[in-house]
Structure 1
Amino acid sequence: MAAKATTGDEYVDQFEDPAARERLAALRELVTSTAPELLEQIKWSSLAYVHPDGVIMLMVSGHKAHANVAFTPSTREHFDGELGDFHTGKGSVKLPYDAAVPTATLARMIEHRVREYERDGVKWM
């Protein structure tokens, strides 16, 4: 059994599918360029982006055919109109490896999530 990832690089490298590694690397770059103050950690075997105060802002996970980005339900709901045909969950957006990523929308979602925590005190789920 392979060792559990303890860093973002190890997390991405554990995926055999180049499309998965590419998508996860692009999402990491998007998060760090949009909100460089967030700290990348591994939580629940996924990438977690944590406010310096210790509160999770969002999570990114890789799966067989898609990546998943999870925000608070309030953040995801705020952007429902921009997510089009993407499958969504309570606070998540499923991003198939063979589909274009709504980068501008995700960047606004990241910014919104940080603001909703800093301004309104919205914690993690």
Structure 2
Amino acid sequence: MTTDAKNNLIDAYIAEFPADTQTVLEELRALIRATAPEATETISYAIPTFDLNGHHLVHFGGFAKHVGFYPVPSGMAAFEEELKPFKRGKGSVQFPLDKPLPTDLIRRIVEFRVAESMRKASEPKRDSKTV
């Protein structure tokens, strides 16, 4: 699937939500794009996803009263203290629609995930046939 087609899928995903949710989803998407411009957009697990070096970087999704941000467990663990004010799961955090997005925190989480992805990409591949 082409990049344009994947972007259209994300556009369609966002368009399914009420205007207030769309606004926050677009803000979150733009922030992730600006922070990780080399990442590609796709849909995975039925939600918008940014991939880098063949791995999922972060996901995000819309809900009735919040947007979900999914920086996978490593992104959650690295920022555990700063994420305490928000409702969280193992690999997810909820940002309420009625409060401003914590853009600095999100940016730093995405930067962390980019650095993690780049580090993994630079590691030599292990041959699965050797013991």
TM tier, shorter chain?
A: 0.7 to 0.9
Give the letter for the 2:118 counterpart: E
Query: What's the counterpart of residue 20 of structure 1?
Result: 21
The sequence identity of aligned pairs, in percent, is 32
Q: 2:9 is matched with which residue? A: 7
- Compute the displacement of 1:30 (Å): 0.4
Computing the radius of gyration over CA atoms, which structure comes out larger, 1 or 2?
2
**TM-score, normalising length from structure 2?**
0.81
Give, in whole Å, the separation in 2 of the partners of 1:101 and 1:90.
20
| Secondary structure of 2:50 counterpart | strand
Q: Report the alpha carbon displacement of residue 117 of structure 1 after superposing the two structures with TM.
A: 2.0
Is 2:39 the partner of 1:38? yes
Corresponding residue for residue 112 of structure 1: 112
Structure-1 separation of matches of 2:25 and 2:102: 14
**Cα separation, 2, equivalents of 1:14 and 1:116:** 32
Equivalent residues, number? 115
Question: Is 1:6–1:42's contact at 8 Å kept on the other side of the alignment?
Answer: no
For normalisation by structure 1, the TM-score amounts to 0.85
CA RMSD in angstroms comes to: 1.6
- CA distance in 2 between partners of 1:72 and 1:83 (Å): 13
Q: Secondary structure at the match of 1:82?
A: helix
Segments of 4+ moved more than 6 angstroms: none
Residue 57 (structure 2) aligns with: 57
SS of equivalent residue, structure 2 residue 28: helix
Distance 1:89 1:74 in 2: 12
More helix by share: 2
CA distance in 1, matches of 2:45, 2:119: 27
1:102 paired with 2:102, answer yes
